[in-house]
A and B are shown apart, each in its own frame.
Chain A
Amino acid sequence: MLSSRQYIVSHAPFWHNGTAVHHRNYNWLLALLPAVAAGLTYFGVPALGVICLAVSSAIFWEWLITTVARRPVTVGDGNAALVGLIFGLLLPATAPWWLVITGTFIAILIGQQVFGGIGGNPFNPAALAWAIIFLSWKTFLDFDSMLVNYSFNFAPYHPLVALKAFGPQAVARIPLGDLFLGKQVGGIGTTCGLALVLGGIWLMARGIVRWEIPLSFLAGVFVSAFIFHVAAPESFSGPLFHIMAGYTLFGAFFLAPEDSSSPVNFLPMLIYGATGGIMTILIRNIGAYPDGVIFAILVINLINPLIDKIRPKRVN
C-alpha cells in the first residue's frame, strides 16, 4: 500500500546549496598545507613532530571534552584539527611536547568548548592559547633561543626582535625577498609569506575567508607602518618589512578571519581588519612586544561584538 512508503518530511526551503561546515574546515586545512610544507623544509623533522602532536592532541581534547560533557562528538568536522594545526604552526619547531598539548588543551577547552564549541568562541582559540602560553612560559616562545641549535643560511635571528632591540638599521639589510620566501626565524608555519599568500588567496577565492578582513588588516599594517616610517625612518622600519616579518601574513589570512570571532557585515569587517593592522604596528613600534599580531587580534576579537553589534553566545 501507499502508506508503507516513508517520505522525508522537513521544513522549507527544500533546496540547499550543498555547503557544509566540514567543507569549510577542510578547505582551511588544505590552504595551510603550503605553509606546512615550507615549515618542514626550513625546520625539518622537529617541526613535523610539533604539527602532528598539535593536530592529534587537539582532536583528542575535543573528543574528550565533548564526550565528558555529553555533547555531540564533532571532531569529524575538522574544526579541532584546524585549531590544532593553526596553533602548532605558531610555535617554534623545538617546542616541547608538554607545551604543545597544554596549548591545544587551552585552545580547545578555554578557546572554544566553554563557549559551546564551534561558532561560540569570542576569541580566536589558537591565538588565545598562544597568548596564555606566552604569558606563562615566555621563554618557550622566544624564537631566538628556541632555534639556537639550527644553522640557517639566512639571518639567524627573529627580525622583529632584532628590530625592537637594535632599531631599523639592524634589519635593513635583510632582503625582503628572503623574508617572503620564509628565510627568517619564526613559527613553523608563519615564516614563508609565499605559502601564506597562496593559502590565503585560495580561501578568499573560494569565498570561505571573507576577503575584506585580510585585505583591510594588511592595509592597516601598511598604512600605519608607512606613516611611522615616513615620520621617523631612523626609528621605524618600512611597511613592506612589517608585512613580511613575524606573524603578519599568518595573522591576516589565518587568525583574524576566524569565523566566529570576526564580523560579517561589510563596513564592520573593514573596521575590524584595519584596526587589527593598526594595533599590530602600534604594539610593534611603541608597545612592549616585538610582534604585536596575536595581541592585536585578541583586541579586535574583543571589540568585534561592538563593531558587529552585540550578540549573545549560545551557551545552553
Chain B
Amino acid sequence: MIKKPFFGYATANFRYELLSKAVAPPASLPVPQQAVFLVPDPDDLGPSGFDYQVGTRLKTGQLLRARSGNGPGVYSTVTGTVTDTSVFLGNYGQKFLSLTVQCQQEDQWSEDFSQALEKDRQQALLDFLGAAPGAADLSPFADGQTPIDTLVVLGADPDLLVETNLSVLKSDLNALARGIELIKEVFGPQSVMVVAPGDNLQNVDSHFPARAITVPLDYPAVQPLMIMQKVLKRFPAQDKTIARLGVVFCKAEAVVSAAAALTTGRLPLEKLITVIDKQGNRKLARARMGTPIGDVLRRFGIETGSRDRIIAGGPMAGTAIYSLAQPVTAETDALMVQDRAEIVMSSDYPCINCGDCVRNCPAHVQVNMLVRFLEAGQYQEAADMYELYACVECGLCSYVCPARIPILQYIKLAKFELERSLPAEEDNA
C-alpha cells in the first residue's frame, strides 16, 4: 500500500505492474471435498423455489437454476451430494440459494450443456457462459433492446495486482482467437477489440480476429468505463448503460471459456485466480469453481486471523468477504488477504473540501461537490449537476481522501438506486 509522500499533494499514480514477467505457472488445486454453489434466486422464494434438497445428487456440468427458469443459473463443477442448503445474501440485496455439496473424486458428466448446444448454440452460451470462468454476460446481444456493435475483450484485469486475464492473454493467444471467432459467429458483433495496457499486445498480428487496442499503463486505463470514455468515446449516462450504448465487455478468460465449451462440448470447471498474500506477493492458482476460498489460501500457506480482511478481487474494486467457506465463483479473478495492521477504516467525517479527490480523479469529476449530494442522498441532483455518470469507479478518490469517506461506495450506491428508480418511472410514463 503506497502512502502519501511526505512532500507534495496526495497523488495516486498507480501503474499496472507488469506481471507476466515472473509469475510461476498456476498451481492446480484438487477437486475439493466440499464445494459451494451460489444459485441466483431472482424471485426471492428461498429454498422452496428450487428443486435441490439435502441428498440431491448433482453431476458435473449440471445447470443449477431456480425452478421457474428465471434469471441466470450456475452449473455444478463437481459430482456429489447436496449436504446443506441456505439463503445467501449478496451485494445490493441479490439473493442466492447456497448449496453445499459433498464431492466425489470422479466426475460424472451431465448432458445439460451438450443437449443445450444441440438445441440452440446461442441460448446455450447465454445460459452457461455467465457461470463459466470469467463470467461473461452476453445477454445484451440477445435481449432485443439496443443492437450490440462492439465486443471489447479485456486482455488484462481492470484492478491493480490482478494477473488473471493478462496471463490468459499471454499464455494462450490461439484459444483467445478461437473464442473470439466463435463468439463472432454466434452473436455477430460488427467489431471486436482486445484491450491491454503497455506492450502486452505485441504478439497480436493482423491475422488476429480482433483489433488490438493498447491503453496506458496508468491505472485505471483498463476499467471498462474508462475504455468507454477514452477509447470508444461513448459516454454512459443514467439511461445509457454500457449495453445501451451498443457495447459488451468480456474478459479474456471468458472468451477462452467459450472456446473450450464450444470446441469440446464440455464446460470448463476451473477458475484461474491471482492469489495475493499479505506481503503483496502474487501467485496463480487453478481451482474448481465452488472450492471454498479457505482451501485456496491454505494451498499457499496463507494464514488469516481475526480482523484481517479477505477480498475477492483486487485492492481497488474487489469485494470483502466474511467467511473462508465462501466459494470461488466465475468472477473470482483474485483473492487478496490484507493484514489487520494494513486496514484503514473509513470514517463518518464530512468532506473537508481539501480537493485531493478532484486532483486525482481520472474522469475529472467534481468529487468534493458530488460527495455532498451523495451524503445527503440527493442522487438525481448528483447525476444532473455533478457528473455522477462520468465516474469510472476507480476508487482513487476514496484512496486519497483524508476524511476517509467511502466515496466510491456512495457512488456505486447512487448509481444502483438511480437504476432501480428508472424502470418505475418508465412505467409511469
Residues of A within 8 A of B (CB): 2-3, 5-21, 23-24, 72, 116-120, 205-207, 210, 259-260, 262, 264-265, 309, 311-314
Interface size on B, residues (CB 8 A): 70
Interchain nearest-CB distance for B140 vs A (Å): 25
Set A12, A15, A72, A260: member contacting B352, Cβ < 8 A: A260
Instruction: Say whether chain A's binding surface is mostly helix, strand, loop, or mixed.
Output: loop
Say yes or no: B344 contacts A18, CB within 8 Å: yes
Of all chain A residues, which has the CB nearest B354?
A259
Point out which of B4, B12, B313, B396 has the most chain A C-beta atoms below 10 A from its C-beta.
Answer: B4
Query: Does chain A have a CB within 8 A of B231?
Result: no
Interchain nearest-CB distance for A13 vs B (Å): 3
Say yes or no: A12 contacts B350, CB within 8 Å: no
Say yes or no: A259 contacts B353, CB within 8 Å: yes
Say yes or no: B345 contacts A20, CB within 8 Å: no
CA A206 to CA B294, docked complex, whole Å = 43
Say yes or no: A264 contacts B324, CB within 8 Å: no
Residues of B within 8 A of A309 (CB): 366, 369
Say yes or no: A14 contacts B315, CB within 8 Å: yes
6 tightest A-B contacts by CB? A264-B355, A13-B395, A16-B344, A207-B9, A11-B409, A19-B402
Interchain nearest-CB distance for A311 vs B (Å): 5
Say yes or no: B376 contacts A314, CB within 8 Å: yes
Residues of A within 8 A of B378 (CB): 312
Q: Please, could you name 30 A-B residue pairs with CB atoms under 8 Å apart, sorted by A? A: A6-B322, A7-B310, A7-B320, A7-B321, A7-B323, A9-B309, A10-B345, A10-B406, A11-B320, A11-B409, A12-B395, A13-B408, A15-B399, A16-B344, A16-B399, A17-B1, A17-B2, A17-B3, A18-B3, A18-B4, A19-B402, A21-B349, A21-B402, A24-B354, A116-B350, A205-B7, A206-B8, A260-B353, A311-B372, A314-B375
Residues of B within 8 A of A265 (CB): 355, 358, 366
- Given the interface pairs A13-B316, A14-B318, A207-B7, the reply to whether A8 lies near B307 with Cβ below 8 Å is yes
Instruction: Say whether chain B's binding surface is mostly helix, strand, loop, or mixed.
Output: loop
Interchain nearest-CB distance for A232 vs B (Å): 39
Q: Give B280-312 as 1s and 0s: 1 = Cβ < 8 Å from A's Cβ atoms.
A: 000000000000001000000000111111110
Interchain nearest-CB distance for B258 vs A (Å): 28
Say yes or no: B376 contacts A312, CB within 8 Å: yes
Residues of B within 8 A of A206 (CB): 6-8
- Given the interface pairs A118-B349, A264-B354, the reply to whether A6 lies near B402 with Cβ below 8 Å is no
Interchain nearest-CB distance for B412 vs A (Å): 8
Residues of A within 8 A of B352 (CB): 21, 24, 118-119, 259-260
Say yes or no: B336 contacts A14, CB within 8 Å: yes
CA A265 to CA B401, docked complex, whole Å = 16
